[in-house]
């Protein structure tokens, strides 16, 4: 991701938005990881998110350093060519390339960076990099926090996934609501439903009944018996 960021940066790099987008890209990968590997152990997830953000930020600087060295090598080749064609240029030399990442970062902070019409150098540039790093971390953390709030079954260690969804008639919606103990006073008409269960079906299932037009949504937790009753009602309504 850090490498990709360095490749994209010269073409598309809106100020402050770029680290946020980078963080979101990282978050997408992390959230996929949580779902695929059924990972919900909070300390592990948060440490992982922090490390991954740090790695992306470090990667960005590392690949910039790498790109700078490659560019230096290309320029050096050009200088050699020119020297062969015009021997009088023999004493023209390129300054040596940065030897390591630390030296590269030191040169970068000396040279500074153009930000909002000001040339930012030294400690101010370090502070700016710190801000960018914080934004990457924040943009990565928010979707991860959302993913961790999703229902999870601690017994079979899996995230609850939608096992069934669809539309029900107004009559069935009313029946479902009373079956699930949902208190509804003003909703009527056909509704949408969603049933989410864990992998082994060992924990209560989440049942959601919603009326998108009225922007109303109700949730209930169903035990195995209630789930069977709901499924039977849904089968009847489908048929």
Q: Which residues make up the interface to Zn ion (CB under 5 A)?
A: 153, 155-156, 198, 200, 202-203
| Closer Cβ to Zn ion, 77 or 224, answer by number | 224
- The CB-of-156 to Zn ion minimum distance in angstroms stands at 3
- The CB-of-123 to Zn ion minimum distance in angstroms stands at 52
d(CA 51, CA 60): 14
Residues 6+ apart with CB under 8 A from 190: 167, 168, 169, 170, 173
| Closer Cβ to Zn ion, 129 or 159, answer by number | 159
- Cα 126 to Cα 49, 52, 123, 166: the distances in Å are 22, 20, 5, 53
Is 123 strand, coil or helix?
helix
- The CB-of-227 to Zn ion minimum distance in angstroms stands at 13
Quick one: which of 63, 66, 68, 67 has its CA closest to 5? Answer: 63
On the CB side of 54, how many CA atoms lie within 13 Å of its CA?
Answer: 6
- The CB-of-158 to Zn ion minimum distance in angstroms stands at 6
| Closer Cβ to Zn ion, 153 or 173, answer by number | 153
| Closer Cβ to Zn ion, 44 or 154, answer by number | 154
Q: What is the DSSP letter of 89?
A: G
| Closer Cβ to Zn ion, 168 or 230, answer by number | 230
- The CB-of-204 to Zn ion minimum distance in angstroms stands at 9
């Amino acid at each position: 991701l850090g490498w990709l960021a360095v490749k994209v940066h010269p073409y598309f790099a809106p100020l402050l938005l770029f680290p946020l987008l980078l963080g979101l890209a990282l978050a997408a990968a992390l959230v996929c990881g949580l779902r695929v590997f059924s990972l919900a152990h909070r300390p592990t997830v948060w440490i992982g998110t922090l490390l991954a953000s740090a790695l992306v930020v470090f990667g960005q600087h590392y690949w910039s350093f790498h790109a700078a060295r490659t560019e230096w090598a290309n320029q050096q080749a050009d200088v050699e060519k020119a020297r062969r064609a015009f021997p009088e240029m023999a004493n023209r030399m390129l300054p040596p390339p940065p030897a390591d990442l630390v030296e590269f970062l030191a040169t970068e902070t000396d040279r500074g960076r153009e930000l909002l019409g000001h040339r930012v150098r030294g400690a101010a540039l370090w502070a700016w990099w710190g801000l960018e790093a914080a934004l990457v971390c924040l943009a990565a953390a928010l979707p991860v926090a959302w993913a961790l709030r999703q229902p999870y079954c601690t017994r079979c260690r899996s995230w609850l996934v939608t096992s069934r969804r669809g539309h029900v008639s107004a009559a069935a919606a009313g029946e479902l609501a009373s079956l699930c103990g949902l208190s509804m006073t003003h909703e009527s008409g056909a509704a949408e439903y969603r049933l989410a269960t864990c992998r082994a079906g060992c924990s209560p299932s989440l049942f959601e009944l919603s009326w998108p037009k009225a922007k109303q949504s109700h949730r209930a937790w169903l035990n195995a018996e209630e789930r069977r009753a709901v499924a039977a009602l849904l089968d009847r309504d489908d048929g």
